[in-house]
Structures are given as C-alpha cells and as structure tokens.
C-alpha cells in the first residue's frame, strides 16, 4: 500500500510541472519552418562565351532570410530541335503571406551537352528565341516567328480563329479579304461526334460567317457574325465594310 501511495505522489508531482504548450510539435509542422521548391521567373536570357551555355537572369523571392536559395536548372530535355528546362528555387517562406514582398536578381547558367546553335529554348513552359546576343520571349499568341506582312495569310487567319469561341479543331475558311476587312466561315465544331462517331450522334456541323476588321498589332477583330446569305447584319454594325466581299455569298 505504501508503494502505491508513493507512486501516485510521484505521478502527481510530474503532472504539476507540465505547463500548457510544452508538448513538442512535429519537426517542420509550423508554417515557414521547412524548405520547398518553387518556380523561379526568368526575366532575360543571353548567350555566353561557351556555345553550349546560356546565362539566365532570374527574379528571385527576396527581402528576408529564407525567401530564396539555390536557384538551379531542373528537367533538362532536348526534343524536336528545342531545349526544354525548368528553373526553380528553394524557399522556406514562400507560403507565408507578406514574408517575401519583393524580388532580387539572380543568375543561373543553362548548359547543354552540345552547342545550342540558336535553338528555341523553352523555360518554365515559355519559349525564347535568339535575337542577336540575347534571347526574346516569344509572343503567347503569335509564337516565335515574325508574322507575315500579308494580313490575309493563313497564319493571321489561324490566330483570328483562336480568338473565337469555337472548338480547337475549327479552321477558318476565308471568303473575302482585302487586308483591312475579312469575311470567313468557321465551324463551331468540325467533329461534333468525335473522331469516331458515337451511336445516335447527329454529325451535323454548325457553321457561322464572321466579319472582321484589321486591328493592328492585335490582328483581326470580329465585328459581326451571321448565318444568313450575303452581308447579313454587318453593314448595320459597320457600314464601311465593303459590300463586294460579301454581297454574293450563299448561306454558310
């Protein structure tokens, strides 16, 4: 009995020394206590003396110890005459709101097994193309190559179709174009039943006629659409649209 009482007294003494909050939390569970890997934004690319290498300028998380360390190249792949790579950094505070409000400049070197030879370099899924001693970021809409001077060229037509709410499989068919005004038909979905028609699916294709005006660097801008023959309602919306481009057109 005396031993039991003594044990109970010792247990009570131990419990009385414990204070709220003394329990230890698992290592790394607190926000900002562990390092993670995040994308590093590329702001510039230039050639180097080594034909196998490029120097990348980065915008790294900054303004506090723990915002960024070890910027580096990961996932390096050469495919279809292009170089693909990801540029990353480690950060302990990236997930802490307001901890890294600014950016600091940094550099990393991308090195290929052989000469780069002016190939397009895709960094963090964004393509860059050589322009003299530097590389320029390709336009997200127009790509890496200069657009043709002829506004009626297929490249401009394809860009215009991408700006219309239709299937990604849709292709525009120009019916009239003078460089300032364009009329074309575009199917809403050229394969409405899929590559292999489903039982019971009606493979009819809805086609509209689109009237567009050249808008400068943005390319073609839609001003009206119609399913009627001729010019439809475009002359009401834009009286300057030339009748000769649409007056004799059948229903799309």
The predicted structure's pLDDT at residue 32: 62
Averaged pLDDT, 31-51 = 92
pLDDT digits (tens, 9 = 90+) for 8-34: 344 444 444 443 433 333 343 455 679
90-100 per-residue burial string, b: 16 or more CB within 10 A, e: under 16? bbbbbeeeebb
Is pLDDT above 50 for 234?
Answer: yes
Averaged pLDDT, 223-244 = 95
Tell me how far apart the alpha carbons of residues 60 and 69 are, in angstroms, rounded to a whole number: 9
Nearest to 112 by CA among 156, 188, 54, 163: 54
The predicted structure's pLDDT at residue 30: 52
CB neighbour list of residue 211: distance below 8 Å, 6 or more residues apart: 181, 182, 183, 222, 223, 224, 225, 226, 231, 232, 234, 237, 238, 241, 246
Q: Give the three-class secondary structure for 216.
A: helix
Give percent above pLDDT 90 in the chain.
71
Rg over CA atoms, the chain: 31
The predicted structure's pLDDT at residue 10: 42
Average model confidence (pLDDT) across the chain = 87
The predicted structure's pLDDT at residue 128: 98
The predicted structure's pLDDT at residue 33: 73
pLDDT digits (tens, 9 = 90+) for 108-166: 999 999 999 999 999 999 999 999 999 999 988 888 988 899 999 999 999 999 999 99
pLDDT band at 36 (very low <50, low <70, confident <90, very high): very high
pLDDT higher at 186 or 4:
186
Is pLDDT above 80 for 181?
Answer: yes
pTM comes to 0.63
Count, in order, helices (H) and strands (E) of the chain. 3, 13
pLDDT band at 37 (very low <50, low <70, confident <90, very high): very high
The predicted structure's pLDDT at residue 199: 74
The predicted structure's pLDDT at residue 145: 87
pLDDT digits (tens, 9 = 90+) for 218-232: 899 999 999 999 998
Query: Around Cβ 73, how many Cβ atoms within 10 Å?
Result: 16
């Amino acid at each position: 009995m005396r031993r039991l009482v003594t044990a109970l007294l010792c247990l009570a003494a131990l419990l009385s020394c414990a204070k709220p909050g003394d329990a230890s939390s698992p290592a790394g569970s607190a926000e900002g206590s562990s390092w993670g890997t995040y994308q590093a934004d590329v702001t510039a690319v230039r050639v180097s003396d080594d034909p196998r290498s490029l120097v990348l300028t980065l915008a790294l998380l900054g303004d506090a110890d723990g915002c960024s360390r070890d910027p580096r190249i990961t996932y390096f792949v050469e495919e279809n005459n292009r170089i693909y790579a990801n540029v990353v950094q480690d950060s302990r505070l990236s997930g802490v709101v307001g901890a890294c409000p600014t950016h600091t400049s940094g550099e990393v070197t991308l090195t290929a097994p052989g000469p780069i030879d002016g190939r397009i370099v895709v960094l963090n899924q964004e393509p860059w193309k050589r322009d003299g001693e530097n590389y320029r970021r390709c336009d997200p809409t127009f790509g890496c190559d200069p657009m043709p001077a002829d506004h009626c060229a297929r490249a401009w037509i394809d860009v215009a179709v991408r700006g219309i709410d239709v299937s990604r499989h849709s292709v525009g068919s120009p019916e009239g174009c003078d460089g300032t005004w364009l009329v074309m038909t575009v199917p809403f979905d050229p394969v409405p039943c899929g590559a292999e028609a489903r039982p019971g699916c009606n493979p009819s294709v809805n086609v509209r006629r689109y009237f567009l005006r050249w808008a400068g660097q943005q390319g073609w801008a839609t001003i009206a659409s119609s399913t009627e023959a001729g010019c439809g309602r475009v002359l009401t919306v834009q009286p300057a649209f030339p009748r000769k481009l649409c007056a004799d057109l059948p229903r799309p």
